[in-house]
Structures are given as C-alpha cells and as structure tokens.
Amino acid sequence: MAWRSRARKDGGRRPARRRRAGRRFFACPFLAVLGKSVQKWFQNRKKLHMLEWVKVMLHETGYRRAPAIEYAHRWAYSRNPAYANFDRMGGDCTNFASQCLFAGCGVMNETKTFGWYYHSLASRAPGWTSVVYLHQFLTTNKSVGPYARECTLDEVVPGDIVQLGDESGNFYHSPFVVAVNADGILVAAHTYDTDMRPLSSYIYGQVRFLHIEGCRSW
C-alpha cells in the first residue's frame, strides 16, 4: 500500500511556537562583575603558577669575581675584537663593564629590550652598553644573568661596578672595581682607558655603587 501524505488544514504551514510566559532572562550586573572577578582570579593563578615554575627552573650559578677582574686587567688598554668599540658612539665604558661581568658570570639575558646580551652591533640589549639601562637591569633582574643592589662605599668589593654622574643626576660613566685597599677603590675603565686608577682621582657630582650579588641560569 502506497503511503499518502495528508494535506494540512492550515495550508501546510506550521503554527508559530508560543513563548512560555515568564521565560525571560535579564542581565544581572552582579553576575557580570562576579564573572569578571572569577576570570581575573584564574588568570592570576595562572601567572602565579608560571612564576613558581620559573623559580623552580632558575638556579644560582654564582658570580666568579676573579675571572671578571682578570678580564678587566687583560683588556683595560685594548679592545676585545669579539665586541664593537663604542668610543665614538657615546663611550665604551659600560660595554667594557658588561664584558667584565660576563667573564665572571657566563650567562646573558636574552629578553628583548629589557635584557642584557650582546651578539653583534645590530643585536644587543640597551642594558649592555647604556649606563642607565645597565643599572636598571642589574637592580631589577629576577631572571637569568647577573643581578645587583645599590650598596654603600664600605660594602664595595672587587668585581663590583661604580657609576658616576653629574649634579643633576645624569649618570654617564661605569668604571669596574678591580681592587679595594688602603688607597680606597681602584677601577679599570674604557673610553678614558685606565687600570688600577683610584676612584678618588675622578671628578663627579654623584656616585652610586652596584654590588653584584650573584648570577642565575636555567
């Protein structure tokens, strides 16, 4: 028996569904704020776990002061061909200080812009060659590479860094400390090449001392 379709009395159109009374949803400001708070909480938890993971991965490698000081003596009056010479590009003092630090640390921080690394003249971080940015990197670094804190004159030891500035607070020179004895602090530096020079022989308006506390690696 063949199937027969029955014609609908309404002309083949289905009647529109009636909405049930009372089924309306209204936006609740409290729920919206609560949702954002929960989302922010999860984001913060994720960041916290990432920071904990980074701390676990990082380990102290130590800052070897003797090799850093030996490097300073070796290159105080010459230039290591592995690095560009910045004498005619604002000064080579901080570049030299960074080289000394690297000789004692052996780890660079490859973070773009705010890190501390040198691969070539075109591939380097501002912190490697700039007085201001080297200070910023060393005193705020929580990741790989060397890190430091500002200290007093009495806390300075060989292997630390001195930064000299003018009366207005513009710091412009980064001598590297190679000895501390009865004559005071003795430094090595580039731009005005020197070695075992007494810090007291410089003329400056302000001075700050950076004590290298250590070095980290992955």
Q: CB–CB of 206/166 below 8 Å?
A: yes
What integer best gives the mean pLDDT of the chain?
86
pTM metric for this prediction: 0.75
Per domain, the residue ranges of the chain are 59-217
Across-strand partners of 189? 194
**CATH number of the 59-217 domain:** 3.90.1720
What pLDDT digit, counting tens, does each position of 113-160 carry?
999 999 999 999 999 999 999 999 999 999 999 999 999 999 999 999
Residue 25: partners with Cβ closer than 8 Å, 6 or more residues away? none
Return d(Cα 157, Cα 217) in angstroms, integer. 23
**Whole-number pLDDT of residue 203:** 97
